[in-house]
Amino acid sequence: MVERTNLDRKVFAKGSQPVVFGDQTTDALAGMVLALLGEVVVLKDRLDANERLLKAAGLHGTADVDVFNPDAEVRAHRGAYRQAIYDRVLGVARDRLLPEALAEQQAYEGEVARVAAD
């Protein structure tokens, strides 16, 4: 059996990010799609491995999985890993687009407040 290492490692790009597609929004969306694709591939590989191992061991089948009702502990565990996935997938847009969008929104609100005060 191969030992897996660096299970807690998270990879984030460092430094300035080049604009590949002409604007930051398109780049951010492309980054999100690629991050999501990576998550789906890993999930598919793990699901395939589990289905093959369970079938080989003569254990449960897909019908059992279909009727599985998770308890509170399982729901909490799933919630935590879903949030981590959301952070990885949506983090590109958050990190690249949100600061700019917030700055624009704050500038707009400041202008509205200035006009309203006149």
Nearest to 35 by CA among 86, 80, 82: 86
Residue 16, sorted as left (phi over 0), alpha (psi -120 to 50) or beta, turns out to be beta
- The stretch 16-31 carries a mean pLDDT of 77
Of the listed ranges 59-63, 69-73, 80-84, 112-116, the one predicted with least confidence: 59-63
For residue range 27-36, list pLDDT tens digits in order: 888 888 888 8
CA 50 to mean position of chain CA atoms = 22
pLDDT at position 77 over 90: yes
Predicted local confidence at residue 62, as pLDDT: 72
Task: Find how far residue 39's CA is from the centre of its chain.
Answer: 8
pLDDT in tens, 37-46: 998 999 989 9
Question: How high is the pLDDT of residue 41?
Answer: 92
Q: Is 9 helix (H, G, I), strand (E, B) or coil?
A: coil
Quick one: average pLDDT of 46-67? Answer: 85
Average pLDDT, stretch 71-94?
A: 87
Name the residue with higher pLDDT: 51 or 63: 51
